[in-house]
Each structure stands twice: as structure tokens, then as C-alpha cells.
Amino acid sequence: MSSQEIPEDKHLPSEQGDAHHGGVAVADDPFADPGLPVHKPRIQDIDDRAAKRSERTVAMLFTVSMLATIAFIAAYVIIPVDKIVYIFPLGKVSALNFALGMTLGTALFCIGAGAVHWARTLMSDVEVADDRHPIAAPADVKAKVMSDFAAGAEESAIGRRPLIRNTLLGALAMVPLSGLVLLRDLGPLPEEKLRKTVWAKGKLLINQNTGEPLRPEDVQVGSLTFVQPEGLEEGTHEFQTEIAKAAVMIVRIQPDDIKDKRELEWSHDGIVAYSKICTHVGCPISLYEQQTHHVLCPCHQSTFDLSDGARVIFGPAGHALPQLRIGVNGEGFLEALGDFEEPVGPAFWERG
């Protein structure tokens, strides 16, 4: 008796098809399996001219594929890589890309279409049935495996000598630790790095558009200006990593409109400087609505009110944008009065 014998659970329906495998219709049972339907010949099976037509179609598709490959090579050689052409309705496109793609596509597609047409019209389409066999092994095979395993385990003596077993398990459990330790030098420890930016007392606010230091009178009401600290050089890794924390946006708001007391204190003549890095997951905030003083992060739509301590008024961000305390130096340029007092960018476990 095989282990695949259907269990006699009462709530399980009987497997269909078991009773009348072979497809003999039982007169009493109108729902019985009538067996495989008779094969219906295709036109190609009975009309030799139709079969010939199919043959020619297939051969033609394969020939078109060959021609397309030749065209591909020709296009590769002839068309310059920078040639731009107008193709309706695509507009202006790279001539080489279009030619190579279409010829390669045609060459491949025609092989496929030819093969499928061949299979559908000329190869036999008589359906045949194959028997399935249970996946699980019969009981005698299982018994043999179990006794083999028992014999092997017995000969290894692993059950009788637990000291060997336990120390082996210990050794195998510990050896991956070496691999784990080796990962240590993937990067430095976080330490205080996420808390500090290059902003410091006396650092001038450099306009990112002009590269020049800003004077208060350069900042108009209603405009959003992106600034970076002086001394940051573009085109270096340090720049990428530092600007990822130090990017700042400034706006000028009528001092009367500033609702937050500390914001007013840290501003200069209505000019407020806030971190440009969203406190959600770190996208740079770039959209400013001058009437409401709202800024919006284009990535996940967190919205902050710059006239009220940059608190979150919509979206997934969890806390306000950090403000940079600014003033004016002796020469009349805007300068930072220190670093941010809290970490910029997304929140993290140690942020507190």
C-alpha cells in the first residue's frame, strides 16, 4: 500500500477522475468524464496546399530575420552614434538607437513568430496523456531510507558520544563570528557625526546660484534662496557628504508674521535660515509657497510652515526642520552664529 493512498477523511471530497480513469462515460452519471475529445484535424493536416503555405510563411519569417540582422550590422556601421532624426510620432530620437533596436527586434521576433507558426500549423497537435506518479516515495523506499539513516547515525556514534556532538555544534555556531567581525571595517562608527555640520560661528552664507556671500538686502520677501557654508568646494567627496547635511534655505518673512518666538530670535530682520534636508528621510526640500510660507518636500510631500518654527503641517515627517541661527557680520554679510543645535535630516535612534 503506497503512502499516497488517499486518506479517508470524511470532510474531503472524493478525488475527481479516480473512478473513471480512461474516460469511459458511465451511462448513469451525466457528469462523468467522457475522456479526451477526438482530435480535430487542422486545415494543414488535410490540405497539402495549406501546409505548403504554412511552410512558406515560416521560411519567409526566418528569411526576414536574416535580412534584419544584415540591416542591424549595416546600421551599426553606417549610422553615426550622434545622429538625431525626427520620427513620427516619437519625435527627435537617436537614429542609431532606433535603427539597431528595430532591426534587432525584427530579427528576434521573426525567429519567434516562425517557430511558433511552425509548431501551431505543421507539428502534430494531437494531445496525449502522460501518467503522473506520486511525489512521495512508497513506504518500502521510506523504510529503507530510515533504516539506512539509523545505521549511519549509529555508526557515527553521534548519539552515544554527546561530548563530540555538543562541541561540534559549538564550533559550527562560533565559526561564522569571524565573518561577522570582518565586516567591522565596512565603515566608521556613527559617534557624533550625524549631529555636526560644517556650519560654525562666523561662517558666511554663500548663495548657491552666484557663489557669492549674501547681504540681507539681497534677500527679497517671497523668494527662496539656497545657501551653503563658505569654504565648501564642489567636486569632492567631502562636498557631497557635507552638503548632504549643511544645505540651507533662507526666506524673508515680515517679522510680524513670524509666530514662533525662538524663530524670530534666531532670524535677522525677518530673514530665517532652515535646514533644507527633510526630517522625514532626507530629501532636499525645494518647493516654497510664498503666500503661506509653507515649504513642501517633493519626495513625500511633507509640508512645513516656515513662519511657525518650520513645524510639520502635513505629510509623513516627524519633526520640524532645524533652524540655523544667523546674524550679520561687520562687513554687512549674513553669517551663521553657530552650528545647528539639533541633528539635521532624518531621525535616528540616538537622536533623542
Q: Is 45 left (phi over 0), alpha (psi -120 to 50) or beta?
A: alpha
Q: In terms of CB distance, is 286 or 290 closer to other proteins?
A: 286
CB of 122 to other proteins, least distance (A): 9
Q: In terms of CB distance, is 258 or 285 closer to other proteins?
A: 285
Interface pattern 100-139 for other proteins (x via CB under 8 A): xxx-xxxxxxxxxxxxx-xxx--xxxxxxxxxx-xxx---
Rounded-to-integer distance, Cα 342 and Cα 108, Å: 59
Rounded-to-integer distance, Cα 243 and Cα 256, Å: 32
CB of 252 to other proteins, least distance (A): 20
DSSP helix/strand/coil, 241: helix
Task: Name which of residues 308 to 347 contact other proteins (CB under 8 A).
Answer: 312, 314-319, 345-347
CB of 108 to other proteins, least distance (A): 4
Cell numbers placing 7: 486518506
For residue 248, the cross-strand partners are 227, 275
Q: In terms of CB distance, is 338 or 346 closer to other proteins?
A: 346
From 43-51, 165-173, 182-190, 321-329, span contacting other proteins (CB under 8 A) = 182-190
Report if residue 350 touches other proteins, rule: CB under 8 A: yes
CB atoms within 10 A of CB 132: 6
Sign of the Cα pseudo-torsion (304, 306, 310, 311, in order) = negative
CB of 277 to other proteins, least distance (A): 8
Which position has the grid cell 526642520? 321
Task: Name which of residues 9 to 48 contact other proteins (CB under 8 A).
Answer: 9-13, 15-18, 21, 23, 25, 28-37
Task: Name which of residues 186 to 225 contact other proteins (CB under 8 A).
Answer: 186-190, 193-194, 208
Short-list 159, 68, 148, 64, CA closest to 114: 64
Q: In terms of CB distance, is 138 or 298 closer to other proteins?
A: 298
| Number of chain positions touching other proteins (CB under 8 A) | 117
Short-list 252, 319, 247, 232, CA closest to 281: 319
Q: In terms of CB distance, is 108 or 153 closer to other proteins?
A: 108
For residue 336, the cross-strand partners are 326
Task: Name which of residues 234 to 293 contact other proteins (CB under 8 A).
Answer: 234-237, 240-241, 243-245, 247, 276-277, 280-284, 286-287
CB of 325 to other proteins, least distance (A): 20
Task: Name which of residues 74 to 93 contact other proteins (CB under 8 A).
Answer: 76, 81-82, 90, 93
From 45-53, 210-218, 230-238, 263-271, span contacting other proteins (CB under 8 A) = 230-238
Task: Name which of residues 145 to 174 contact other proteins (CB under 8 A).
Answer: none
CB of 80 to other proteins, least distance (A): 9
Rounded-to-integer distance, Cα 307 and Cα 267, Å: 11
Q: Which of 64, 216, 226, 328 binds other proteins (CB under 8 A)?
A: 226
CB 72 within 8 A of CB 106: no
Which position has the grid cell 479516480? 18
Q: In terms of CB distance, is 49 or 237 closer to other proteins?
A: 237
DSSP helix/strand/coil, 239: helix
Cell numbers placing 122: 505543421
From 198-206, 216-224, 250-258, 294-302, span contacting other proteins (CB under 8 A) = 294-302
Q: Strand pairing of 303-305 and 311-314? A: antiparallel
Q: In terms of CB distance, is 160 or 351 closer to other proteins?
A: 351
* CA 72 vs CA 81, 105, 112, 122: distances in Å: 14, 10, 18, 30
Q: In the chain, what is the greatest distance between 2 CA atoms, to the nearest angstrom?
A: 108
CB of 146 to other proteins, least distance (A): 20
